[in-house]
Amino acid sequence: MVPPMGRLEGKVAFITGAARGQGRAHAVRLASEGANIIGVDICAPLDVKYAPATLDDLHETADLVAAEGRKMTAVQADVRELDELEEAVARGLADFGRLDVVIANAGVLTAGLLWEITEEHWQQMIDVNLTGVWHTMKATVPTLIEQGQGGSIIIVSSVAGLRGVPFVGHYVAAKHGAVGLCRTLANEVGAYKIRVNSIHPAAVDTRMNDDPDLFELVIRFADTLAPIFMNTLPYTMMDPSDVSNLVAFLASDESLYITGAQLPIDFGTLGR
C-alpha cells in the first residue's frame, strides 16, 4: 500500500533518544507526515532511578515507523560519544541519501537540592543533556550545509530551560545551555537556510516522571514552592504525542521563517 502524502514527504529526520517517550512519539509522527527516520538511542543503563530504554524499545519504534509506511535506520549510540553519532549519521545517509530534520531529544533526569547533587549526577547531566546536544549538531550540521537545501534543527529543551525549576538545578543548567546553543547556531547557519529552534515542554508522561527523589522533594517543599508548579490551563501532564504536534510543525516548511525561537508548550506555567 502506498502511504499518503504528508508535510514531510521525501524528507529524512535524525532523532536522538528515539527508543521511547518523546523520541518515539516524534519518530512516529514525522513518519506519518512522510519522513524516513534515523533513530538513535543508548539502549543501556544510566545512573538514574527509572528503567532505561532497551534495544527492544528501539526496535519497537522502528516497527511503529514501519506501520506508518516509512523506514527507520535504528542505531544504538550514546550522544556522549561523537564518533558514535557520526557513524549513525553515515549509516542513515547510506540508507536514505539525505538529511533534512535533526531533533536533539536525548536526555536524562535526576533530582536533588542543588548543594546536594553528586558530582557524578552533575557530570552525567551535562554530558548527556548539553554536550549531547552539541555532539548532535557537530554530527549533522556539516551534512545539512553540504546538501545546500536548508533544513530544520529542533532542540528539545524544557520549561526548565526558561526558568529556575527547583530540585533539578543541574537539569536547569543543561537546558538553559541548550538554549544558548540554539540561539548561537541559528545565527551561524541562517545563511544556509537552516533554521534552529528549541521547544520547552512542561510535564510529559514519560519514564522520567518515575524518579522518586523528585516526588519526595516536591512534597517536602509544597508549602512554599507549590505555586511554582501551578498552570494557567487546567492540565498537569501531556502525552508525548502532544509535543510531537509542535515538532512536526517546526520540521515542516510551515515554519520556514521561524528560527532562533524558544517555543513553550507548558500549560501556561510561566504565568503569561
Backbone angles phi, psi at 205, to 5 degrees: -75, 80
Phi and psi at residue 95, in whole multiples of 5°?
Answer: -80, -40
Contact 103, 154 (CB under 8 A): yes
Q: Are 23 and 29 in contact (CB under 8 A)?
A: no
Integer Cα distance of 188 and 144 in angstroms: 13
Q: Residue 127 CB: number of other CB atoms within 10 A?
A: 17
> For this structure, is 171 an active site residue?
yes
Which residue matches cell numbers 490551563?
A: 233
Candidate list 171, 192, 235, 257, residue with the active-site label: 171
Distance separating alpha carbons of residues 208 and 213, to the nearest angstrom: 11
User: Which of 124, 139, 116 shows the shortest CA–CA distance to 52?
Assistant: 124
Per DSSP bridges, beta strands 12-16 and 101-104 are parallel
| CA–CA distances in Å: residue 19 to residues 41, 45, 58, 111, 187 | 6, 13, 4, 23, 31
Q: Is 183 exposed, middle or buried (0-12, 13-18, 19+ CB in 10 A)?
A: middle
Q: Which residues are catalytic?
A: 171
